[in-house]
Amino acid sequence: MVLQNVRFPLSLRNVEDLLFERGIDVCHETVRHWWNRFGPMFAADVRRQRVSRMKGFRQWKWHRDEVYVKINGEMHYLWRAVDQEGEVLESYVTKTRDKKAALRFMKKALKRHGLPAEITTDGLRSYKAAMTELGNTDKQEVGRWANNRVENSHLPFRRRERAMLRFRQMKSLQKFASVHASVHNQFASRPFGSISNAT
C-alpha cells in the first residue's frame, strides 16, 4: 500500500480510507511513516538495478529539463534527467536556476550513471555553461521539440503534487521526487523491445 501511495495520485487520507474499506484501521500518519521508512529503500534498490542494466549500453541518450515547484509560496526548481525510454534517472531540487545548480545536477547524474552518448536539453544557457566546464559540449543537442520526452515525464509528478497539496520543505520535495521517479519507472509500461528488456 505504501507503493500505491506513490504510484497513484492519492493523498495519505485517501490511503487511510482505502485501508479502512478493507478492514484495516490505520491513521494517515502511520502511512506517512511507512512511506518515509520503506519508500527510499525500495527506490534505491530499483535505481541500483536500473543503473547496472544500462551502464553497458552505448547508445544511452539523456533528456534534461527543470520544472518550477513552489514551496511555501517560494519558487524552487526540480531538475530532472530522463533517458530515451522516458525513465527518470535523476531528480535534484535547487533554489536557483544558474550554472552552479546545473553543474551540481549534472555532476550528480554523471557520477551515478556514467556518461551517455547524447544529452538533449532546452535552450537554457546554464546547461551550455555547465557542459563546457565538464568538457562534454559535443554531446549536447538542443532543439525546439527534441526535449518532449522529459517534458512529458513531468506530468505524473504534477498530478501527484496536486494530490499532496504542494510541498512545505525542500528536503521533503527532494525525497519525494527521488522515490516517486523510481516507483513510477518500476510500474510504467515499457514498449515492446525496450532496451532494459533486451538481451
Residue at 167: amino acid letter = F
Residue at 103: amino acid letter = L
pLDDT tens digits, residue range 89-107? 888 999 999 999 999 999 9
Domains in the chain, please, with CATH? 57-174 (3.30.420.10)
Q: What is the pLDDT of residue 100?
A: 94
Tell me the CA distances in angstroms from 61 to 2, 120, 146, 191, one per residue in order.
31, 8, 12, 16
All cell numbers assigned to 82: 530522463
Residue at 134: amino acid letter = L
CA-based diameter of the chain, in Å? 58
Q: What is the chain's percent helix, strand, coil content, to nearest 5? A: 55, 20, 30
pLDDT tens digits, residue range 72-89? 888 999 998 888 877 888
All cell numbers assigned to 122: 532546452
User: Is this prediction's pTM over 0.85?
Assistant: no
